[in-house]
Amino acid sequence: MGIEMRLEVKVSHGLHYQGDAMAVPLFQRARNRGYHGLDKATEGEWKGPFCFIQGADTQYGMIADFFTEKADTGWQEEIELTRKAIAAANKMTPRPKFFIVCGDLVNSFPGTEGREEQEKDLKREFMDLDSEIPLVCVCGNHDLGNTPTRQTVANYVDKFGDDYFSFWVGGVKFIVLNSQFYEDPSQVMELKEKQDQWLDEQLAGAQTSGCKHLVIFQHIPWFLEDPNEGKDYFNIEKELRLKMLEKFKSAGVRTIFCGHYHRNAGGFYGDMEEVVTSAMGCPLGEAKSGLRVVRILDNSITHDYYAMDDIPERVTLSNPSL
Ligand SMILES: [Zn+2]
């Protein structure tokens, strides 16, 4: 009887969680501008510090493309790097509350050779992520094309979920943006305006939502080192950048996490931090392929980048200001 009861409790608890998480396929959870199971009703309350993993630019196919200029040599290296990242995430204590990949999931642009195979392989690898660590995807320029069209956006949404949405984890509000709308919206002005309007509503609502922190994720960084730097390939045009940074700061955004640069970088706009994270796939700077562990603390957000072989098994959630 005792054993039966225990089993029943265990099974029903398991079913409750698994049922909820498994009901929606892994890459279909970002829908209706939210993320399945990570809403304010279930995750709106602050229950203390936690950690999550932020990676960027898995970009299956770039290593071969960049170093050999032959796209047909495959992406086995990227696959091995993903496996290391997933193994480390699955072993981490405390368990990361989610794993987010900030864009350029694969290298081949929409409709080009290798794209479907790269997507298929990436999705297969992430199936090994612990089912209790939600995977959150952000779209990058390689995912949508440098000049997105309605079709490339629709294809991405179909394959990976919404291109922009918000979600809640442990009392913190997270906003995921489609940064391609800031880079080149020329073919999708209508979609860009919809995101603008939605974002304004999200930011206005955040101030009265009671969120502990407000955090943004996007692919292309607003700036690399200095909010006043000039435009180059890896950042957003200055006038729009300064307007948006001011908007985020006024709304109380604490941190903006990005990728795209394939190097670690970032800086501050007032007391708002922008963090640029190097690649899970092909690095272009000194840092080796890796990911960032982010700690959400009472009064601060701290983070460290680790090469895939150096990711810690234990994360200390202490507040340096205490
Ligand atoms: Zn990119």
Q: Rounded to whole angstroms, how far apart are CA atoms 166 and 39?
A: 8
Q: pLDDT value at position 320?
A: 57
For residue 66, the CA-to-ligand 1 centroid distance in Å is 13
Q: pLDDT value at position 24?
A: 86
Please provide residue 134's backbone torsions phi and psi, each rounded to the nearest 5 degrees.
-60, 140
Q: Rounded to whole angstroms, how far apart are CA atoms 181 and 184?
A: 6
For residue 159, the CA-to-ligand 1 centroid distance in Å is 18
Please provide residue 81's backbone torsions phi and psi, each rounded to the nearest 5 degrees.
-65, -40
Q: pLDDT value at position 23?
A: 73
Beta bridge partners of 168: 173
Would you list the domain boundaries of the chain? Answer: 26-310
Q: pLDDT value at position 322?
A: 45
Q: pLDDT value at position 22?
A: 58
Structure tokens belonging to residue 190:
């209508």
For residue 258, the CA-to-ligand 1 centroid distance in Å is 10
Instruction: Tell me, rounded to whole angstroms, the distance of Cα 146 from its chain centroid.
Output: 19
| pLDDT tens-digit series, residues 79-117 | 999 999 999 999 999 999 999 999 999 999 999 999 999
Walking along the chain (322 residues) 10 residues at a time, the average pLDDT comes out as 40 40 83 97 97 98 82 85 98 98 98 95 97 97 98 98 98 98 98 98 94 98 98 97 98 98 98 98 97 97 98 87 47
Structure tokens belonging to residue 235:
């950042």
DSSP structure string for 277-316: ---SS---SSSPSEEEEEEE-SS-EEEEEEEGGG--SB--
Give me the sign of the Cα torsion angle 96, 98, 99, 103: negative
For residue 94, the CA-to-ligand 1 centroid distance in Å is 30
Q: pLDDT value at position 271?
A: 96
Structure tokens belonging to residue 29:
């959870």
Q: pLDDT value at position 2?
A: 41
DSSP category for residue 231: P
169 with 52: CB under 8 angstroms? yes
Q: 26-310 has which CATH code?
A: 3.60.21.10
Coil, helix or strand at residue 271:
coil
Residues with CB under 5 A from ligand 1 (ion): 104, 140-141, 260
| pLDDT tens-digit series, residues 265-283 | 999 999 999 999 999 999 9
Q: pLDDT value at position 66?
A: 85
For residue 141, the CA-to-ligand 1 centroid distance in Å is 5
For residue 106, the CA-to-ligand 1 centroid distance in Å is 10
Structure tokens belonging to residue 178:
């489609």
DSSP category for residue 183: H
Q: pLDDT value at position 14?
A: 36
Q: Rounded to whole angstroms, how far apart are CA atoms 107 and 118?
A: 8
